[in-house]
Structure 1
Amino acid sequence: MEINGKIIEILEAKSGQSAKGTWRKQQYVLETEDQYPKKICFMVWGDKIDEFGIKQGDKLMVSIDLESREFNGRWYTDVKAWKISRGDSKADDTQFSSSGDYGSTQSSNPPPTFDDDEIPF
């Protein structure tokens, strides 16, 4: 799934320790440029934060995966970016993917998994 828009806010980065090691995530708020704009908060995990280098005001096409999970009877949905395309010009049409396979949603660095009693937020 892909969303287009402009980065209007960059939230504070978060990091922590899990059984599999150190993790970090960065959340961004993108506003669509539709007739009725929507704001969508998405996250980027690990090394992709530096690789994508997202800045406030950037116009992006963000390829995302949606995933929901249950914790203590409540459901939480994550919007995870796996590819970023920049701008409208050919010079700025750089695509990023941690796996190098731009058509695949599989990442060489999948997001960490957490124990049932551990939530990363």
Structure 2
Amino acid sequence: MEVQGTIKWIDETKTYGSNGFRKREVVLTTEEQYPQHLLVEFIQDKTDLLNSFQAGQQVRISINLKGREWVNPQGETKYFNSIQGWKIEALQEGDSGSGLPPVPPMEAFEPAKDLKEEDYDDLPF
């Protein structure tokens, strides 16, 4: 999955536990009728991917949705979701996200010539 929008905030890398688990969070604001502020976490070696980005940049982030179950001391089951990023790339102005180059305007193309039926008979087979 992918999400795209503008970086609102990037946190610093934080380390947890004795085995050095690393996590870094970024808030992405989507650009739609009702913008959403999505917290995306990058973990372990993926935290370094955020080093070259800053607030205000338009980006596309490849994500995985993660969910887990937890039973509290009272025996109640709780569920938690997270959005985990594994790739981030800057968007160019006007990038539609299709991965295709921009199409030139219609004025850049020449009109097609009227072809006669015999023009189609030049095939080698």
Q: TM-score, normalised by structure 1?
A: 0.65
Aligned mates of 1:64, 1:51 — CA distance in 2:
13
Comparing both structures, which one devotes a greater share of its residues to strand? 1
2:13 and 2:47 in contact (8 A); partners too: no
Computing the radius of gyration from Cα coordinates, the structure with the larger value is 2
Q: How many residues align?
A: 87
1:59 correspondence with 2:58 = yes
1:27 correspondence with 2:12 = no
Q: What CA deviation, in whole Å up to 9, does each residue of 1:13-50 have, x standing for no partner?
A: 321125xx211101111000112211100000122222
2:24 and 2:41 in contact (8 A); partners too: yes
Structure 2 equivalent of residue 40 of structure 1? 38
Q: C-alpha root-mean-square deviation of aligned residues, in Å?
A: 1.6
Structure 1 equivalent of residue 14 of structure 2? 14
Per-residue deviation, 1:87: 1.8
Structure 2 equivalent of residue 71 of structure 1? 70
Partner SS, residue 88 of structure 1 = coil
Aligned mates of 2:2, 2:91 — CA distance in 1:
14
Aligned mates of 1:51, 1:8 — CA distance in 2:
16
1:80 equivalent among 69, 79, 84: 84
Comparing both structures, which one devotes a greater share of its residues to helix? 2
Aligned mates of 1:23, 1:61 — CA distance in 2:
25
Q: Percent same amino acid at aligned positions?
A: 33
User: Which amino acid letter does the alignment assign opposite residue 83 of structure 1?
Assistant: K
Structure 2 equivalent of residue 104 of structure 1? none
Gaps of 5+ in 2: 72-76, 94-125
Aligned mates of 2:54, 2:46 — CA distance in 1:
14
Aligned mates of 1:52, 1:12 — CA distance in 2:
9
Aligned mates of 1:51, 1:30 — CA distance in 2:
15
Gaps of 5+ in 1: 90-121
